[in-house]
Structure 1
Amino acid sequence: MRILFIGNSRIGDFILSSGLLAHLIETYRDARITVVCGKIIVPLLAHTPNIERVIVLEKRKHHRHWLDLWLMTVGTRWDLVIDLRNSAVSRLLRAGQVRRVERVRGKRLHRVEEIGRVLRLDPPPDPRLWPGDTDRAAAADLIPDGPPVLALGPGSTHEHKRWPSDRFAELAVRLTGPGGILPGGRVAVIGSPAERAQAEPVLAAVDPARRIDLMSNTPLLTAAACLQRCALYIGNDGGQMHLSAAAGIPTLGLFGPTPAHHYRPWGERSDYVQAPEPFEGLEARIPEAMKAGVSLMTGITVDAVEAAARRLYLKVAPTESPRIGEPASAVLGSGMDIDGKPGTM
């Protein structure tokens, strides 16, 4: 059986669709699967079973990347094509079945639910990650055994989606201080080097003996394994938030000008805090905010995030704060290697 899976190019969107990919792998165990995705996604597939080929879709002028994809796939007779991009390519291939994302009017569906409807799966499959033994070993070096770890993601590609760094810093002090949900806990600040400026105030607020600086080019699956060693993650809406939720740890996402009902972290161990202003109003202000380089997340208070974090942690966490040494329970898989250079946060 030959399956073509046309996926997303952004980390968060691809992670939200990974449960559907896992469903295909487990349902059609002898299938040969070709995955189409962005270059940054390739490392997430490094240990995914049954992947015969990964096609990197690099954006070109005049949408010529879709022509490139058609030329690379038109010579194959596909049994099933899953097109999460609703592209013209899937309409022009020889295929037994073609399944695309359907927009449902009048329903506020989560993206995972939309994707599940592609194969009429209800409930939809949870996002899935496939870290390898080398990723887990690297994570154990980066986050050694010891007191529980609060993971924070203060960065974001766009300023308007960033909760202020000084509030992340205050939150870290509250949650790991006396009376906090993780008293005496360590604080891991996770992100890319490009987000270093947002991380510095948070790192500076934590005792050097308790802080873990992961603001580096950490491979994606190693970052997932690191998150799996943490007790709680709190961060802005983005790919790292979805990586944390897929790793199975309690995850709290912070939302402003994006719809939380559609992109909140998925799963029973996740929750979110939405800015008090309706996101539609904030969304309309995005062009202005991008031009001015300002955040649209200032309506969220530290008190609100602390309260939400406490509710979530007490709902899903052990009665005693765990010490690091055993990975958190998660929806994780294992599989064989494919070629691909490590991707990074």
Structure 2
Amino acid sequence: MKKNETVKRILFITLSNIGDVVLTTPTLLTLIKRYNNAKIDVVGDARSRILFNHCPLMNNFYEKDKTKGLIGTIQLIRMLRKNYYDIAVDLRSDGLLYFVRAGKKFHKVNNNNIHSVEKHLQSIKEASITNPAIWIGREHENEARKILSKSNSKILAIGLGANSPQKIWPTKNYAELCNMLKDHFKLVVLVGDKKDDVFTKNFKTVFSGNVINLNGKVGLLTTAAILKRAELFIGNDSGLGHIASAVKTKTFTIFGPGEPHRYKPWGEASGWFQDDERNISKIKPDVIFENVMKNMESVGNKSK
């Protein structure tokens, strides 16, 4: 793509899982920077819609509803075909782009040897890297500020859950790790959705410090605002790590069977650890403590 092209309208087809969507935002931001006068429409699902609610650069959001099956897909195609796009970018590759009216079409690149941020940028033939982003509304910032109003110390955010059991480090281990980190963080904030609240009781049984449990208590964008105020986020291979990285908070991800070279949170301040056997249950708290401390020393303190 050439910067001096006359581009009035762009279609951007993103992914579904929260973490995957965050990793597509550098591609979206590159398009916005290159064609700053263009109107950009986004196609995603109900989960990804949340991340674009406060994006000032988006024109329309078209929701792809899998529950409606073929009828829903046909309805979406009819809506999209009412428009003509100068450029259409599909990072999903489910055939939708075939039906879109567009001057230039860019498809998903299949390269599993590089990080997803780089792979998505390759789809639009872009070499320079823009960091992931997330857009947070003022109301979410205010809610986060209110929740943390009584805390003047460094905050450690912890994500106990993930979307599969094989990716979840035992809750007892997280609690023991937080006990080891008490000299560095006076407050632990548990972040996650409602299903992650099942881990809270076991965590509080072992952890002896101050903790605020927000599992299932606040929405995704308020969680992002909370993470923005944290010094460090430690969690499993999940979308929360990518959100933390996008708001410029240091992250440390504990991987099970995943692929860190492709899916670790983006950036130099994003550390990770994976057992040689890719068995997350075998990883001991003292090993993570040692690696977290090394990572914190290498990236320094977060500037507020």
The whole-number CA distance in structure 2 between the counterparts of 1:44 and 1:89 is: 21
Structure 1: gaps spanning 5 or more residues: 280-295, 323-327, 330-345
Please give the per-residue CA displacement for 1:127-167, whole angstroms capped at 9, x wherever unaligned.
Answer: 11111222211111112241111111011122121000000
Contact conserved, 1:19 with 1:127, CA < 8 A, in 2?
yes
Q: What is the 5 A alignment of 1:66-215?
A: 66-104=73-111, 108-144=113-149, 145-177=151-183, 182=184, 185-207=186-208, 210-215=210-215
The whole-number CA distance in structure 2 between the counterparts of 1:300 and 1:58 is: 39
Identity %: 29
- With over 3 angstroms needed to count, the CA separation of the structure-2 counterparts of 1:63 and 1:212, relative to structure 1, is same
Q: What is the 5 A alignment of 1:226-305?
A: 226-277=226-277, 279=278, 296-305=279-288
The whole-number CA distance in structure 1 between the counterparts of 2:73 and 2:93 is: 11
The whole-number CA distance in structure 2 between the counterparts of 1:162 and 1:304 is: 16
Q: Offset of 1:87 from its aligned partner? A: 2.6
Please give the per-residue CA displacement for 1:18-42, whole angstroms capped at 9, x wherever unaligned.
Answer: 1211222232222111111110222
Tell me what 2:48 maps to. 41
Tell me what 1:312 maps to. 295
The whole-number CA distance in structure 2 between the counterparts of 1:155 and 1:80 is: 38
RMSD: 1.8
Please give the per-residue CA displacement for 1:194-235, whole angstroms capped at 9, x wherever unaligned.
Answer: 111123222333446x21111124222211110011111100
Contact conserved, 1:69 with 1:89, CA < 8 A, in 2?
no
Contact conserved, 1:251 with 1:270, CA < 8 A, in 2?
yes
The whole-number CA distance in structure 1 between the counterparts of 2:73 and 2:163 is: 26
* Higher RCO, 1 vs 2 (CA within 8 Å, ≥6 residues apart): 1
Letter in 2 for 1:256: G
Please give the per-residue CA displacement for 1:49-106, whole angstroms capped at 9, x wherever unaligned.
Answer: 23111111111476554333222211211111010111322122221111111113xx
Count, aligned residues = 296
Contact conserved, 1:152 with 1:187, CA < 8 A, in 2?
yes
Contact conserved, 2:89 with 2:105, CA < 8 A, in 1?
yes
Residue of 29, 42, 45 corresponding to 2:36 = 29
The whole-number CA distance in structure 2 between the counterparts of 1:205 and 1:142 is: 24
Structure 2: gaps spanning 5 or more residues: 1-7
Contact conserved, 1:5 with 1:34, CA < 8 A, in 2?
yes
Q: Secondary structure at the match of 1:298?
A: helix
